[in-house]
């Protein structure tokens, strides 16, 4: 018989259970379900312990989910599904898979009690699990396997965990962003994208834009304190770079990500806002890059048919062009006592720097009610302080809120950057010879320090301004063309976005600046053609000016102001669980 004893604050359940023909002593105590093998002489052997928070589901009978079948219809059995960990190749992160153990009970009563107690414990110990999710699949991302990945690997897990999903397979770019901005999201506990960084960016803009709309905050004001977002975002990696997933989970594996979503993990994330004058251009969580990375993106767009390989091909082409770009960079340093981009630490699950930043970032946060003080939507003092100016010629200027590690670069653009410390790392790679730059790039793929080079500097900052040197500013005529084109579109948002615009009384920035994107890009490319000269297959732009790559999208302006908003959004993730033991 099952034995039950009440413990203070937690339930305790114990009984003998069988796995195959071996007897186990099983117990459920507070946070853990454990089973210990007992031999014929009643000696205890190895114990397996599963935290209740990592239980995915408990099913009657002997069940397998892939392929889905009930093995035997016995009323003495139950099957436990849980998170199982393993190491992954040369990456630091931990790969998760679905663990499954079938238990046989001495009686049906005992079986029913175990199932009830385990399910109750699950509800008690995992209050932040999602019950209903809105899922967007980009069928064209990465290797175009988004639908297959979702239906074969992810959906069966969500079903097992009792999560109901509304699935939208996108038919056009920005559909997911617009859906989140305009539709009724009542009842959803989170949004999930199946795709790459571009698809994640759509969800990011939808979630931030909607939150600001509802809070009455103007995203165009670069000095405003944005309202933190409640709706969590999940990423099922199925893209080309998968940087946001890789940098926040440690691997780009759909099953691992699905399991993090199911157990309701929560990882706050810093977000950079990118403004041109008084207009919000974009938000970014991974890379805002000018010069090399901008050129690679611009070139790669012409080779989308190559899939993820387009970046490798374009990387080589752009490298061979050996361009340098003049620019003026101004930055506002972050507090150097807290952390530094050269301190050789890593932001891992439970990161101390990030947790301590929460108090600094949200001094008015009321943890009992989970509410942010109303005065947070006032103007921020974050742009105050002493700006440092650097002028020169650069191979690339990059900003990253996180390490931006990805399968191409397992340590990332800035290996010691933090996911949620309210700072961004600014990396300046000055003009150098091709071999020097190759050394810099190559170090992204090894454990060698890419900042330990005389032409590279890195700063931990709160904000960055970039503009062209005097005499090389963005052309007014071009500016005006872009401005008027964007105004024309924003006067009539329906022109580009049909469908219901229930919540669109106020033109949100996302609608304003992104609706005009198509038209601005046309103006821009016509303009570029006019000014272009060709030094190789990738060089169809003026020699002195590059473009900004903002999380995989080209920005329509060169002169920008970037500012970090600490912990603005939350992912269904927990940071990198270090599998190297380092």
Ligand X SMILES: Nc1ncnc2c1ncn2[C@@H]1O[C@H](COP(=O)(O)OP(=O)(O)O)[C@@H](O)[C@H]1O
Ligand Y SMILES: CCCCCCCCCCCCC/C=C/[C@@H](O)[C@H](COP(=O)(O)O)NC(=O)CCCCC
Taking the C-alpha atoms of residue 139 and residue 238, their distance in angstroms, rounded to an integer, is 9
**Per-residue b/e over 77-99, b at no fewer than 16 CB within 10 Å?**
bbbbbbbbeeebeebbbbbbebb
* Shortest distance, position 315 Cβ to ligand Y, whole Å: 4
For the window 121-140, what string marks contact with ligand X as x by the rule CB under 6 A? -----------------xxx
Catalytic residue, from 197, 295, 421, 425: name it: 197
Helix (H, G, I), strand (E, B) or coil at 428: strand
Taking the C-alpha atoms of residue 225 and residue 543, their distance in angstroms, rounded to an integer, is 38
Cβ pair 396, 318 in contact under 8 A: no
- The full length of the chain comes to 582
H helical segments located in 52-174? 108-125, 146-149, 155-160
For the window 409-428, what string marks contact with ligand Y as x by the rule CB under 6 A? x---x---------------
Two tokens, residue 117: 């107690």
Q: Which H or E run includes 511?
A: helix 509-515
Interface with ligand X, residue 197, by CB under 6 A: yes
Q: Of 98-106, 159-167, 235-243, 473-481, which segment contacts ligand X by CB under 6 A? A: 235-243
The residue from 77, 270, 382, 577 that contacts Ca ion (CB under 5 A) is 270
Q: How many CA atoms lie within 13 A of 165 on its CB side?
A: 25
Interface with ligand X, residue 299, by CB under 6 A: no
Size of the site for Ca ion (CB under 5 A): 5
The residue from 190, 327, 415, 552 that contacts ligand Y (CB under 6 A) is 552
Interface with ligand X, residue 117, by CB under 6 A: no
**DSSP calls for 541-576:** S-TT---EEETTEE-S-S-EEEEEEEEEEEES---B
* Shortest distance, position 203 Cβ to ligand X, whole Å: 10
Q: Of 16-24, 186-194, 407-415, 560-568, which segment contacts ligand Y by CB under 6 A? A: 407-415
Interface with ligand X, residue 199, by CB under 6 A: yes
Interface with Ca ion, residue 418, by CB under 5 A: yes
Q: Is 197 a catalytic residue?
A: yes
Interface with ligand Y, residue 441, by CB under 6 A: yes
Two tokens, residue 2: 């099952």
Two tokens, residue 504: 């669109």
Q: How many CA atoms lie within 13 A of 490 on its CB side?
A: 19
**Looking at beta carbons only, is 238 or 347 nearer to ligand X?**
238
Size of the site for ligand X (CB under 6 A): 20
* Shortest distance, position 258 Cβ to ligand Y, whole Å: 19
The residue from 172, 367, 369, 386 that contacts ligand X (CB under 6 A) is 172
Q: Which H or E run includes 466?
A: strand 456-467
Segments of 277-372 assigned E as strands: 279-284, 287-291, 325-333
Interface with Ca ion, residue 563, by CB under 5 A: no
Interface with ligand Y, residue 297, by CB under 6 A: yes
* Shortest distance, position 287 Cβ to ligand Y, whole Å: 4
**Looking at beta carbons only, is 87 or 408 nearer to ligand Y?**
408
Interface with ligand Y, residue 551, by CB under 6 A: yes
Tell which positions 535-574 bind ligand X, by CB under 6 A: 552
Cβ pair 104, 77 in contact under 8 A: yes
Binding site for Ca ion (CB under 5 A): 270, 401, 418, 421, 423
In the complex, the residues that contact ligand X under the rule CB under 6 A are: 138-142, 170-174, 195-199, 202, 239-241, 552
Which residues are part of the catalytic machinery? 197
């Amino acid at each position: 018989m099952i034995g039950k004893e009440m413990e203070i604050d937690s339930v305790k359940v114990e009984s003998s259970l069988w796995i195959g023909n071996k007897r186990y002593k099983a117990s459920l105590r507070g946070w853990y379900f454990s089973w210990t093998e007992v031999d014929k002489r009643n000696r205890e052997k190895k114990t397996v312990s599963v935290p209740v928070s990592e239980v995915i589901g408990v099913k009657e009978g002997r069940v397998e989910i892939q392929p889905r079948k009930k093995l035997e219809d016995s009323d003495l059995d139950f099957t436990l599904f849980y998170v199982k960990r393993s190491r992954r190749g040369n990456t630091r992160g931990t790969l998760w898979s679905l663990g499954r153990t079938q238990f046989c009970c001495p009686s049906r009563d005992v079986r029913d009690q175990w199932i009830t107690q385990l399910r109750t414990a699950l509800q008690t110990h995992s209050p932040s699990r999602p019950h209903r999710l809105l899922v967007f699949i980009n069928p064209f991302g990465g290797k175009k396997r988004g639908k297959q990945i979702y239906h074969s690997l992810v959906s069966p897990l969500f079903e097992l965990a009792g999560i109901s999903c509304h699935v939208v397979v996108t038919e056009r770019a920005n559909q997911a962003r617009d859906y989140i901005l305009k539709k009724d999201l009542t009842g959803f506990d989170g949004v999930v994208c199946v795709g790459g960084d571009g698809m994640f960016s759509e969800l990011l803009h939808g979630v931030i834009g909607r939150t600001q709309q509802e809070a009455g905050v103007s995203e165009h004001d670069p000095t405003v304190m944005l309202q933190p977002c409640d709706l969590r975002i999940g990423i099922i990696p199925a893209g080309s770079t998968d940087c946001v997933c890789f940098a926040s989970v440690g691997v780009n594996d759909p099953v691992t990500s699905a399991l993090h979503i199911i157990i309701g993990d929560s990882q706050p994330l810093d977000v950079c806002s990118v403004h041109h004058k008084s207009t919000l251009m974009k938000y970014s969580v991974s890379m805002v890059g000018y010069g090399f990375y901008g050129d690679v993106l611009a070139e790669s767009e012409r080779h989308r048919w190559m899939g993820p390989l387009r970046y490798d091909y374009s990387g080589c082409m752009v490298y061979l062009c050996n361009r340098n770009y003049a620019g003026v960079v101004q930055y506002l340093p972050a507090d150097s006592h807290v952390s530094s981009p050269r301190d050789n630490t890593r932001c891992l699950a439970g990161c101390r720097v990030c947790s301590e930043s929460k108090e600094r970032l949200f001094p008015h946060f009321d943890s009992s009610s989970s509410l942010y003080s109303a005065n947070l939507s006032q103007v921020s003092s974050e742009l105050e302080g002493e700006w440092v100016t650097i002028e020169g010629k650069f191979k690339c200027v990059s900003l990253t809120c996180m390490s931006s590690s990805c399968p191409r670069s397992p340590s990332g653009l800035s290996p010691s950057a933090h996911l949620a410390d309210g700072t961004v790392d600014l990396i300046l790679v000055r003009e150098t010879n091709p071999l020097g730059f190759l050394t810099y790039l190559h170090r992204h793929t090894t454990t060698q320090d890419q900042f330990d080079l005389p032409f590279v500097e890195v700063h931990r900052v709160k904000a960055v301004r970039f503009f062209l040197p005097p005499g090389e500013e963005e052309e007014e005529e071009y500016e005006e063309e872009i401005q008027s084109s964007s105004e024309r579109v924003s006067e009539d948002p329906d022109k580009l976005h049909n469908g219901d615009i229930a919540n669109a009384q106020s033109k949100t920035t996302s609608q304003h600046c992104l609706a005009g994107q198509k038209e601005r890009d046309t103006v821009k490319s016509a303009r570029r053609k006019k000014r272009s000269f060709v030094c190789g297959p990738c060089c169809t732009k003026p020699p002195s000016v590059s473009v900004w790559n903002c999380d995989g999208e080209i920005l329509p302006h060169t002169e920008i102001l970037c500012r970090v908003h600490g912990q603005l959004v939350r992912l269904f993730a927990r940071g990198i669980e270090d599998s190297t033991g380092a």
